[in-house]
Amino acid sequence: MRLSQLAASIAESPTLKLNEDAQRLREKGEAVIHLGIGEPKNKAPISALLSSASRLSTGDVKYAPTDGIPSLKKAIIRYTEETYGRLVAPENVIVANGAKQALYNLLYSLLNPQDEVIILAPYWVSYPEMIKMVYGVPVVVTPEDGSFHPRLADIEQAVSSATRAIIVNSPNNPSGVVFSEKFLADIVDFCERKGIILILDDIYQRLIFDGRPLVTALKFTNRDVESTNLVVVNGISKLYGMTGFRIGWAVTNRRLVETMTNVQAQTTSCASVILQAAAEGALTGLQSYVESLRLTIENNRNVMMQELSSFSGVKVTKPDGTFYCLPDFRAYNANSVELSHFLLQKALVVTVPGKEFGMEGHLRLSYAGTVKDVTEGVARLKWALDPHAPSEIYIGDRKVVRDWL
Ligand code: PMP
């Protein structure tokens, strides 16, 4: 069968594929540790469950307005006011099936063929593929100093007459780095001067550590939502650990929301009313839930840093937020895909190759699981790679001996 060249050129999602691989191995009874996953082990907030259950029990489960049910939009407007200090109208908000769909619809609504979108390495795996899917061109900017923090000077050099948008994701997946206020202020100013759309993927905004204040780039524009070049994308996946509920949203000017709504109407009609009710329940319920999730993840981050500190060949930048860190494993193998496969095969630990995020030689390790996942996972990585580590280890109830170092 002949396939569309474009569709056939789109890479599979490496993170979703790894989840499936890990699941298959677990079903076979293998003691897999998943350090690849971007979702915590929490249960969804009770307010979310009650709200969706009560909607379900009415039996009134029909199409919803394409841009979202009014009561959920109201909750998003309140979240936007509390978080960003911005009062927006329902016409400035569109609800989608996850931040992922919101981003896709946004790019679809903004780009003409060959328009360029600047993405900052290390970047989230889906950005380049989504840009290509709407006939745009991803332009990757990599920090030259080997850090994970972008520099405006590098971005300025990458801008051309075809640049339509820049995507900023801070706190950053996969590095965990929170970008400086100076950088955010400068990029907002730069985009507004140049007429470039600035897409703020704020999905991890509350998952920040060490008493850091929540900083949003939106704070650096004086323009209102109708005239600013900034578009905010957000959702419940990371905020409440509600990844499977698939609710996200975008906040932007009315014209763009209208266009995105038309695009969504012709593809998915709307997000499920049951899941929208769950999102509304989460947003309007007890918010101490967010803090307790944050504290759990911060503790896991501390454990991960502690465990990595005695891993002789590994260099790691301490994450300021998110579920992830992106250590440099080049001392062991500069080919991250090869290394990740080796670690899954020998140590039954899932990691994500840095190559997928535009950072070859690194592996993304997640600390979204349990403390035990983190300690045991890193112990297995050490056993597999570090000649100073003991040569025997238990994987599940099997004692295994390293015979390759
Ligand atoms: N942006 C980033 C940076 C992400 O890491 C993710 C999820 N991994 C998303 C967007 C998509 O989130 P959602 O589950 O709401 O589609």
Residue 58: beta bridge partners?
none
Residue 166: beta bridge partners?
118, 198
Encode the chain (405 residues) as per-residue pLDDT tens digits. Answer: 999 999 999 988 877 888 888 888 889 999 999 999 889 999 999 999 999 999 999 999 999 999 999 999 999 999 999 999 999 999 999 999 999 999 999 999 999 999 999 999 999 999 999 999 999 999 999 998 889 999 999 999 999 999 999 999 999 999 999 999 999 999 999 999 999 999 999 999 999 999 999 999 999 999 999 999 999 999 999 999 999 999 999 999 999 999 999 999 999 999 999 999 999 999 999 999 999 999 999 999 999 999 999 998 999 999 999 999 999 999 999 999 999 999 999 999 999 999 999 999 999 999 999 999 999 999 999 999 999 999 999 999 999 999 998
CA distances in angstroms from 208 to 139, 146, 282, listed in the order given: 28, 23, 19
Whether 311 and 386 have beta carbons less than 8 Å apart is answered as yes
pTM of the model: 0.96
Taking the CA atoms of the chain, what radius of gyration do you get in angstroms? 21
DSSP 200-265: EE-TTTT-B-TTPPP--GGGG--S-TTT-SEEEEEESTTTSS-GGG--EEEE--HHHHHHHHHHHH
Phi, psi of 116 (to 5 degrees): -100, 145
3-state secondary structure of 344: helix
- The verdict on the CB of residue 259 being under 6 Å from ligand 1 is no
Residue type, 187: I
- The verdict on the CB of residue 203 being under 6 Å from ligand 1 is yes
Give, using CA atoms, the residue closest to atom 12 of ligand 1: 99
- Asked whether the CA dihedral 86, 283, 365, 104 is positive or negative, the reply is negative
Whether 205 and 169 have beta carbons less than 8 Å apart is answered as no
- The verdict on the CB of residue 242 being under 6 Å from ligand 1 is no
Per-residue pLDDT at 405 = 87
Whether 221 and 188 have beta carbons less than 8 Å apart is answered as yes
Residue type, 81: E
Per-residue pLDDT at 21 = 83
* Assigned token pair, 75: 């909750």
- Eight-class DSSP state of 328: B
| Distance (Å) from CA 368 to ligand 1 centroid | 14
Q: What is the pLDDT of residues 141-155, one digit of tens each?
A: 999 888 999 999 999
Per-residue pLDDT at 66 = 98
- Count the alpha carbons within 13 Å of 205 in the hemisphere toward its beta carbon: 19
Whether 321 and 178 have beta carbons less than 8 Å apart is answered as yes
* Assigned token pair, 155: 């971005």
CA-to-CA distance for 369 and 364, rounded, in angstroms? 14
Question: Which of 97, 203, 231, 236, when mutated, tests ligand 1's pocket best, judged by the most ligand atoms within 8 Å of its CB?
Answer: 203
Nearest atom in ligand 1 to the alpha carbon of residue 124 is: 3
- Eight-class DSSP state of 44: P
| Distance (Å) from CA 159 to ligand 1 centroid | 25
CA-to-CA distance for 70 and 65, rounded, in angstroms? 8
- Eight-class DSSP state of 3: -
- The verdict on the CB of residue 14 being under 6 Å from ligand 1 is no
